[in-house]
Amino acid sequence: MSRLARLRALIWPEPQDRLERTLLRKADWLILSYLCLTFCVNYLDRVNYYNAYISGMREDLAMTGRDYNKVIAFFTAGFAVAQIPQNMLLLVVPPRILFPLNGVIWGGLTMVSAAATKVQHLYVIKFFQGMAEASTFVGAHYILGSWYKPQEIGKRTAIFACSSHAATLFSGSLQAIPIALYGAFVFPDTPANTRSRFFTPEERALAMARLGPREKTRFDWTLVRRVLSRWEAWLLSLIWIANGALESFGSWGIMGLWMKAQMTAAGRPLYTITQLNHYPLATSGVAILSLLIVSCWTDNRTQDRWVANIVIALSALVSATLVLVNGLHPGRLPRGALFFAFYFSGITFAGQSTNFSWANELFADDEQARGIALAMMNVLCYAFNAWFQVEYWKASSTPAFTQGSSLMLAFVPLMLVFTGAARFLQVRDQRRSAACLSSSSMKHADGEADVAIAASLSSASGLGGAGRSKASLRPSTGTTEDSVALEEEQDKPEGEPLRGSLNQLPIL
C-alpha cells in the first residue's frame, strides 16, 4: 500500500464490504451536502450581522452600547426556546420536510431584515429567525447519529461544524431557499424510515443493521423520565455550557470589536474596514483545522472523546489569560500577543464535534431520548449564553473585556471537573455492563454444562444399564429403599461398572 493510500485509510477509512462502502458514500453525499450547506448559510447571517455592525449599521440604526448584544440575545432566546420542540417534531415529522420548511421561513426572515429601520425591528426578526434555525444544529447531530458508527461519526460532525466557519467565504442569504428545495428532494431522513430513491432495498436494510440492534423505545410521557433520570443528559449539558463559554472569543466576534477600538496616536482608526472583516478569519481557519484533527484522532480512539475537552480548556486558559492581562494592564502586551490569543482560541470549537459525537454514543440505546438529550444540551447552553454575552461581553466594555475573560478562566476548571465526572461515570457503567454480561455468560455456560452432563448421564445409563428399571433413574429421595439399592451397587465386583456412575461418562 502506498503512503498516500495509508494516509487516506487513516483519515477517511472505508469498509471492505462493497455494499457498505457504497451505502456510506451515498449517505455522505446526500446527508452531509445538505446539512453543511444549510448550516453554512445559517451561520453566514450571524457573520453578516457582525460585519454590518462594524461596517456602519451601528450608525445607521443609531445603536447604543448594549444594542449589539441585545440583538444577539433575542436570536439566542428564540433559538433556545424552539430547540426541544423542534427536535420533538423531528421524531414525528420526516426531516426531509421539517428541515426545508424551516429553511424557507428562515430565508424569508433574513430578507425582511434588510428593510429594518430601527433596532427594535431586528429584535423581532432575530427572535423568530432563531426559532426557525433551531432544528439545524441539534437536528443535524441527531441525523448523523442515526446513520454512522462511533468510528465514523466524529469526522462527519467535524465537517458539519467546519461548514459554519467556511461561511465567511460567502455572502448573501438568497441561497437558503434553493438549498431548502434541494433538501426536500434528496434528504433521506433516518435509516428507520427512509424512502429515498437513491438507496436500494439492500442498502436500506444494511443501514439499519450496521449500527447493531437497538431496543425498541416509545415516544410517550416516559421520555421525560428516560432523559432527566440519566446522568449523561445533565453532565453533557454542563460540559456544553462550559464549552460554549470557552468559545466566546470566536462566537461573539470579540476580536473584531477589539480591533475596531484600536486607534493611532492621531486618534484615527488603526484598522480599515477590509482589515476588520478579514483578519478575524484566521480564527475560523484554526477552528477548521482543530475540528478535523481532533475528529480523526477520536474516531480512531472513540473512548478518548473526553480528552479533547482537556485540550479545549488549556487553549482557553492561554487565550483568556492574555486578553485579561491586556485588559488589566493596557499596552503591556504587544498587539501580536492579542492576535495570537484570538487565533489560538479557535481550538475551543473542536468540542462541536467531539461532545456531540460522545452524546450520540452514550444515548445510542434510546432513539427518542437521544434526540431530546441533544436538544437539551444546546438549550441549556444557549439559555446561559443569552445573558452571559449581554452581561459579560458588552460592546461598551471594548477593548478591555476583563469581565468576560475572567469568567472564561472560571470555566476552565469547571470544564475539567464536568468532563472528569462524565468519564468516571462512563467507565463505571461500562464495567458494570461488562460484569453483568460476564455473569450472564457464566450462567448460560453453567446451564449448558448441566444439560450436557444430564445428556451424558442419560447416554451412559443407556450404555451400561440397559436392563435397569425406570425407578432407578429417579433421583435419590433418602429412603431405605434407596440405601439398599446403593449397597447392592457397591457390593458388585471391582471390574464391573456401576450403573449410572461417572465411570460410564464419555471422555469430553
| pLDDT tens, position by position, 355-395 | 999 999 999 988 899 999 999 999 999 888 778 888 888 87
**pLDDT surpassing 70 at residue 504:** no
Q: Say whether pLDDT at 208 is over 90.
A: no
With cut-offs at 50, 70 and 90, classify the pLDDT of residue 1: low
Q: What is the mean pLDDT of residues 276-283?
A: 90
Pairwise pLDDT comparison (486 vs 300), residue with the higher score: 300
User: Residue type for 173, please?
Assistant: S
**Lowest-pLDDT range, 131-145, 360-374, 440-454, 473-487?**
473-487
Provide the pLDDT confidence category of residue 507 given band limits of 50, 70 and 90: very low
pLDDT of residue 502 exceeding 50 = no
Pairwise CA distance, residues 477 & 485, whole Å: 12
What is the pLDDT averaged over residues 300-313? 89
pLDDT in tens, 233-259: 999 999 999 999 999 998 888 998 899
**Neighbouring residues of 198: CB distance < 8 A, sequence distance ≥ 6:** 26, 30, 186, 188
- Mean pLDDT over residues 56-79, rounded? 86
- Joined grid coordinates for residue 88: 420533538
Instruction: Assess contact for 183 and 96: CB atoms under 8 A.
Output: yes
Q: Poorest-confidence range of 7-21, 255-269, 357-371, 443-457?
A: 443-457
**For position 328, what pLDDT does the model report?**
94
What is the per-residue pLDDT for 506? Answer: 38
Predicted pLDDT of residue 243: 96
Q: Which residue has the higher pLDDT, 422 or 436?
A: 422
Residue 331's pLDDT is 87
Q: What is the pLDDT of residues 314-323, one digit of tens each?
A: 999 999 999 9
Query: Are the beta carbons of 78 and 131 closer than 8 angstroms?
Result: yes
- Measured between alpha carbons, how far is 312 from 243 in angstroms, rounded to an integer? 8
**Maximum distance among all Cα pairs of the chain, rounded to whole angstroms:** 121
* 173 alpha carbon, distance to own chain's centre: 27
Which is higher by pLDDT, 303 or 165?
Answer: 165
Give the mean pLDDT of 302-325. 94
User: Would the pTM of this model clear 0.85, i.e. be above it?
Assistant: no
pLDDT value for 13: 84
Give the C-alpha separation, 244 to 349, whole Å.
Answer: 9
Among all chains, which residue has been given the C-alpha cell 457464566?
A: 442
The backbone region for 153, taken as left when phi is positive above 0, alpha when psi lies in -120 to 50, beta otherwise, is alpha
Give the whole-angstrom CA distance, residue 171 versus residue 180: 17
Q: How confident is the model at residue 461 (pLDDT cuts 50, 70, 90)?
A: low
From 112, 107, 79, select the one nearest 181 (Cα to Cα).
Answer: 107
- At residue 253, φ and ψ (nearest 5 deg) are 65, 35
Give the integer Cα–Cα distance in Å for 86 and 135. 5
Over residues 136-161, the mean pLDDT reads 92
Statement: residue 278 has pLDDT above 90: no
> Considering the chain, what is the average pLDDT of its residues?
84
Per-residue confidence (pLDDT) for residue 132, from 0 to 100: 93
Reading the block at residue 240, the C-alpha cell is 456544553
Given pLDDT bands bounded at 50, 70 and 90, which one contains residue 352?
A: very high
Q: What is the pLDDT of residue 383?
A: 86
All domains in the chain, ordered by first residue = 15-192+226-437 (1.20.1250.20)
